[in-house]
Amino acid sequence: MIKKRIYLTIDDAPSSYMSLKVDELVQKNIPAIWYCRGEYMHKHLDHVVYAINQGYLIGNHSYSHPYFSKISLEQAKDEILKTEELIQFAYEKADVQRPYKLFRFPYLDKGGSSNVLYKEQLQFLLKQLGFQKAIFDGIHYSYYKTQQLDIGIDAPWTFDAKEYALFNKHLDCDFFIQRMIQKDPEQGLGLSLLNSSDIVLLHDFEQTHHLFSPMLNKLLEWNVEFCTPVIQNAQYSFRESLTMR
């Protein structure tokens, strides 16, 4: 039986619920990459350390979550480096050697659609700072190629759970589960289809923590295979890291 491959990523960590999410992922043997915001790490650094000690990977999601197309290259560098210092400190506190460096742009804003030079400068900056490309195999959506989401060192996504819609609307859990079921792959709604892998984006917001378990359970209901990406110039195994805990 063909299984759909899912790469789980979680943005906007850490919240005060991060450790609970980590425990659930460990219990269900689900690998994930956590993309952390520096501004949140000051308050909840111990949750990041806990995730590292449970075998999870920590990526950089900038410091204050700006649109990178609206800031200068120097500001972009500062956003990245401030968070890098905190991530490195978390790994040192966990007494774990950081396996590699991953980055995801807020809003998937790689520098704006029209400013090609600036986008190239941002990619060069990531390379210069030692970030590595995560290779997500099996993505077959046409927009993934046409929008060049497969190009660059930064990490993309193909399904955004959009739990943040709760902030402005009165929505229940069923609304988000129904989004997962919808079949409109070229609009980022192909989770329930087998013809492509998916990079799933969930969020670690305080206000949406109650959605985390139902979404995971829906994926598990489909008997998907949770995978970790191949990283250029690095070797890492989620399951090996669990055995080393």
Distance CA 204, CA 3 (A): 27
Distance CA 132, CA 137 (A): 16
In the chain, what's the furthest Cα-to-Cα distance?
50
Distance CA 4, CA 146 (A): 22
Distance CA 7, CA 79 (A): 26
DSSP 144: H
The per-residue pLDDT for 239 is 44
**Cis bond upstream, residue 156 (ω within 30):** no
Cβ count within 10 A of residue 137: 10
The per-residue pLDDT for 234 is 44
Cβ count within 10 A of residue 69: 18
Cα 128–chain centre separation? 21
Given a contact cutoff of 8 angstroms between Cβ atoms, the answer to whether 45 and 233 are in contact is no
Distance CA 104, CA 223 (A): 27
pLDDT along the chain (245 residues), means of 10: 92 99 98 99 99 99 98 99 99 98 98 91 96 96 93 97 90 94 93 95 97 97 95 54 41
Stated as kind and residue range, the H or E segment containing 202 is: strand 198-203
The per-residue pLDDT for 89 is 99
Distance CA 19, CA 39 (A): 18
Q: Per the structure, how many domains does the chain have?
A: 1
The CATH number assigned to the domain holding 142 equals: 3.20.20.370
Cβ count within 10 A of residue 97: 7
Structural domain span for residue 193: 5-243
